[in-house]
Structure 1
Amino acid sequence: MGDLEEAKAKAAAAYNAAADHFDHPVSSFWHRFGRRTVERLGLREGETVLDVCCGSGGSALPAAEAVGPNGKVVAVDLAERLIALGEAKARAKGLGNIEFRAGDMLSLGYPDASFDVVICVFGIFFVPDMAAATKELWRMVRPGGRLTLTTWGPNLFEPGNTAFWDAILEERPDLMKGFNPWERISTPDGLREMLREAGVFDAEIVAEAGVHPLASSDDWWLIAMGSGYRGTLAQLDPATLARVREKNLAALAGCGAIETNVVYMAATK
């Protein structure tokens, strides 16, 4: 299996597994940052939108509301279980202008200039060649249209992230990750360098610092179970999983928040 296929398989497996906790209220940041991405765009009535790595609709659903019944949103994700969650929410909201698709953003088959807006929130870093993926998304933006990428800033989920990997290191060092792919684009300069490789220039990039409150260390565990960490947790036997959980809870006892720093990018073609 090549690097790209392996990365796609891992992402799909992790988020299909995480689907049972993905929409838990403790993980409300998915939808908060998705909605914020859409608000920053100022979508107009009747626009067509492609949302890739859409999850359960954190940005796609607000986009569908913004473009109205004469607009259209196509929402794509590799994880079928997240797509199913998004479809259920769209039905509950009575949104008939959104189509959810299980698919790969690199092989959607749309012609050049197919969309007024292309959105990717917390997803571009799942592809080993982020510049190539961005170039493909840019190709589908019509002249005068916009591409927006939202990615994580530095120190994602700290101190929860360190507590998690410390416990994994102690229990299953073979599962340790040496590098988080979003770190390359976690600063405006790093993101701008990647965009230049993709042929996207004159982008507006805004870094926003933030925190996400935790009522207790149990909240952190629920976040881990409903995010990309689940791909690692799914490889643990029940006894090891229980020990990793206890170590996470102990390390974060009394911790009232985790860091959720975000970088927003928007470019007009």
Structure 2
Amino acid sequence: MTSISDQVLEFFCGPGGLGGLECAGLMLVSFSTSGITAMLGIGGGVLLLAVLASVLPIQVVVPVHGAIQLGSNATRVAVFRRNIDKSWLLTFGIGAAFGIYLGALVGPLPEPMLKVTLAFCLLLSLWPSPSAGRPPSGRLLFLTGWGTSFLTMFAGGTGPLVAAILIGRSGRQTVIGTHAALMSLQHSMKIAAFSFLGFQFDSWVPFITVMIACGYLGAAVGMRLSLRLPETLFRSAFRTVIVLLAARLIWTALFAA
């Protein structure tokens, strides 16, 4: 027979067996990583995914992470709503719908292969493009929506790859706001797909809600700091984070147990 404290702990921390300290630590991580993303436009979601993967059962990591990231990106949409380029949403969304559908049909793929592929795409995105400074083409938006949405059904953490098509094509605030809108669209579709496939989100709602609330506070702090970050430093930090994330993906794919 479980005590009342154990029942309260399970209610707020989910059925994954998290302890009180682990749950509190994840709340702090959500605050910090959301602040990082609000400052740089990328990076926080992948860091949060890595932490969640180390403490939660692997089969729940991607759907729970997707729900948390939907809330986190939605807060950035609200904060940067005036800077969103809405003309990019439809084409990306159509591609994302195809990618999510195909990912749901295919089922699990080898995780190391997905990680190396994602890392390669991230590094390739840093290659100078003759179209830099101009809005991404409809074809690029569709392919990015399709490819990243397919990958996110298995590995999650595709936010940096989506952001890569935006950097250098518009101002910092537009990059952050539009990226948040595109990722909100993708995560919404992913959650719908996992729900259709039978994942039970109900028992995780309190945990997800608390994580989103902590992420909202982190985004508010990160937004204020982002306004003080010089544009040149922002772009350098963006590229540095891309390289570090790609290196981490390759390392975990080749050497993680």
- Give the TM-score band, short-chain normalised: under 0.3
Higher strand proportion (structure 1 or 2): 1
Q: Which has the higher contact order (CA 8 A, sep 6+)?
A: 2
Higher helix proportion (structure 1 or 2): 2
TM-score normalised over the length of structure 2 = 0.28
